[in-house]
Structure 1
Amino acid sequence: MTEGIVAHTETLAEEIANAITHGVGAALAVAGLVVLLVLASLYGGALEIVSLAIYGSTLVLTYVASTLLHAARSARFKHVCNLLDHASIYLLIAGTYTPFLLLGLRGAWGWTLFAVIWGLAVTGVVLRLVLRHYGRHIALPLYLGMGWLILVAIGPVWSSLGGAAVGWILAGGLAYTAGVAFYVWERLPFNHMIWHLFVLAGSALHFTGIMATVVPRG
C-alpha cells in the first residue's frame, strides 16, 4: 500500500512480507464482503445492500491492489498496480464512511458528508492520475484529512449512533494514523510491513464498528 511515494527501495524479503500481510487482508476482506452482502440481502433494503457493497468492495480493492503491487515483478505491471493502489486508498476512505453516513447518521448531515467525502475521493484519484510529481507530500495530508473529516460531525454521529460507534470510528482512525509513523520511518527494516499491520488493525476496527452498529440483523 502506497508504494511508489516512498523514497527507498525495499528488499525482496520486505516485499514478500508486504505482499503476505495484505494478501491475508485481501482474503479477510472478501470474506467480510460476503458476510455484509448476505446480511444486507436477508435483513435490509436497497440502501443497506448498496452502502455495504460499496464499503466491502473498496476494502477488497484496496487489499488486492496492495498485494498485487508488492508481488509484481514486471515494471509495467507494477506501475499499473501503483496507480490502482493509490487510487484505492481514496476509495476505501470514502467507502468506509458510506455505511456510517447513509445507514447510521442519515439526514442532511449524512448525505452532505457523503457527497463531500466522495468528492474528495474523486479529486484524490484525479490528482494521482494527472500530477507528474505526485508524492507523499500530497497523498498523506489528503488521506489523513479525509480520514478525520468525521470530526466535524462527531456530535451528530454520537447522537445518531451512540458512543460505541464513535469509539470504533476513532479507534480505527487512530490505528491508521499511528501506522503512518512507521510508513515514513524508512530506515527501519520492514517498516512497510509494520505499516501494513496497522492498516489491518484499522480496517478490522472499522469493520467491527460497522457490523456492530449499522449492519441489519434479523
Structure 2
Amino acid sequence: MKKNREFFVEFLNSISHFIGVGIGIVFLVMMIRSCIKKGNAYTPAFIIYGAFFIFLFLASTLYHGIWNKRAKNILRIFDHSAIFLFIAASFTPVILTVLSGKKMIFFLVLIWVIALAGTIYKILSYGKYDKQKTISVILYIAMGWTSIFLLKPIFLKMPREFLFFLVAGGILYTVGTIFYKMKKQYSHVIWHFFVLGAAITHFIGYYQYLI
C-alpha cells in the first residue's frame, strides 16, 4: 500500500513537470520566431533560456519517473543542477538587455560562475541529498534574488509591467520552497506547480517586453 502511494506521488511529480517540457518546447519555438521576426540581437540568449527551460523540466520528469535507485541518484544531480543552470539562463537575456559594457560582462560572468559552482557542489554532494537540502534551498533563493541588483537598470529601461512579472515569478519560486522543505505527502507536487507557475510567469514577461 505504501509503495503504491509513493509510486502515485512520484507519478504526479513526473507528470507535473512533463507538462513543463511541452510548454517549454512551445515557448522556445515562440521565442525563436519572435526574435527572427523582430531581428532581436540577443536571439542566442533567448535560445539558451528556452533550452534550459526544457532541460529543467525534463531532468525533473526523468528523475521522478525512474525507480532504479542508482539511476535515480544520478538523475537527482541533473535535476538539482538544472535549477542553478536555469536561473543563470533566465538572467542572461535580462542582463544583456538592461546592462552594457563592464557591468554586463561582470553580471554575466558572476551568474554563470555561481551556476557552475552550484553544479559542481551537487556533483560532489552525491549521496548526501538529505544533509545538503537546506543549503541547496538557500543557494537557489539567494541566486534568484540577486536580481535585486538589476532593479535600477530594469526600472530605468523596461516597462513597469515587466518588473511586475519578474517579481511575481520570484515570489512564486520563493513561496514554493516552503512546500519543497515540507515532508507532507503531496508537498513536493505542490512545489512543482509553483515552479511551473513561476517559470510561465517569467516567460510571459520576457516574451512581451524583452524580445
TM-score, normalised by the number of residues in structure 1: 0.88
Cα distance between partner residues in 2 of 1:51 and 1:63: 19
Cα distance between partner residues in 2 of 1:18 and 1:114: 32
Q: CA deviation at 1:185?
A: 1.4
Q: CA deviation at 1:110?
A: 3.1
Cα distance between partner residues in 1 of 2:150 and 2:90: 15
Cα distance between partner residues in 2 of 1:153 and 1:68: 34
Matches within 5 A, 1:45-194: 45=40, 47-132=41-126, 133=128, 135-186=132-183, 188-194=184-190
Moved over 4 A (4+): none
| 134-143 or 14-23, larger mean C-alpha shift | 134-143
Q: CA deviation at 1:40?
A: 1.6
Q: CA deviation at 1:212?
A: 1.2
Q: CA deviation at 1:112?
A: 2.1
Cα distance between partner residues in 2 of 1:131 and 1:67: 21
Q: What value does the CA root-mean-square deviation take over the aligned residues?
A: 1.6
Equivalent position SS for 1:73: coil
Q: CA deviation at 1:209?
A: 0.7
Distance 1:85 1:143, change over 3 A: same
Q: CA deviation at 1:43?
A: 2.2
Which of 1 and 2 has higher RCO (CA within 8 Å, sep 6+)? 1
Distance 1:85 1:154, change over 3 A: same
Structure 1 stretches lacking a partner, 5+ long: 1-9
In structure 2, what is the equivalent of residue 17 of structure 1? 12
Is the aligned partner of 1:34 residue 2:32? Answer: no
Contact 1:61/1:88 (8 A) holds in 2: yes
Cα distance between partner residues in 2 of 1:110 and 1:171: 24
Offset from partner CA, 1:155-176 (integer Å, 9 cap, x none): 1211111322211111000000
Contact 2:80/2:122 (8 A) holds in 1: yes
Q: Which structure carries more helix by proportion?
A: 2
Contact 1:104/1:214 (8 A) holds in 2: no
Distance 1:91 1:193, change over 3 A: same
| 35-44 or 22-31, larger mean C-alpha shift | 35-44
Q: Sequence identity, in percent?
A: 29
Cα distance between partner residues in 2 of 1:69 and 1:157: 36
Structure 2 stretches lacking a partner, 5+ long: none
Q: Which amino acid aligns with 1:202?
A: A
Q: CA deviation at 1:107?
A: 4.1
Contact 2:98/2:153 (8 A) holds in 1: no
Contact 1:105/1:160 (8 A) holds in 2: no
